Amino acid sequence: MIELAIVFPVLLLLFAGTAEIGRLFYTYTTLSKATDVGARYLSVQRDLRSATPATVAAAKLKGQNLVVCGYIDCTNKTPLVTGLATSNVVVTLPVSTDVVKYVKVEIQNFTYQPGVFNIANLTGKSSSTFYFSLTASTRNRYMP
């Protein structure tokens, strides 16, 4: 019993840390794949070359929605990752003067949310020590 009382807190901390690291990698991989899908979608959209700003904005919003919830319309849909919103998704449109044009989709200012095992609370450290901002981006060639 004494040995279990000594070792149990350490084992619990190792288990919680492993679970949180796994969730962190899973979240980052999901964000990375979402930016890839959004960039792939926007790389073939002719509406991005439109002279009408409203048409360009609508195409850009569809790409942002695709990154956030997996659909071009996020009405009544849950985000792929908790806390992700279209305000986190930055779309850089192709520059018309460049010879080779690129579309870049980037997730900025997304802070990882702790799960059941909040390591910061378990260790008495601040949340910023363990949970930090995740950034994922993808740049695809624009070929409408």
Residue 3 clears pLDDT 80, i.e. is over it: yes
Quickly state the pLDDT bin for 102 (edges 50, 70, 90).
Answer: very high
Q: Provide the β-strand partners of residue 20.
A: none
Residue-wise pLDDT tens digits, 14-68: 887 788 888 889 999 999 999 999 999 999 999 988 889 999 999 999 999 999 9
Instruction: Write phi, then psi, for 97 (nearest 5 degrees).
Output: -85, -15
Report pTM.
0.83
Type and span of the H or E element at 9: helix 2-42
C-beta separation of 84 from 111 below 8 A: no
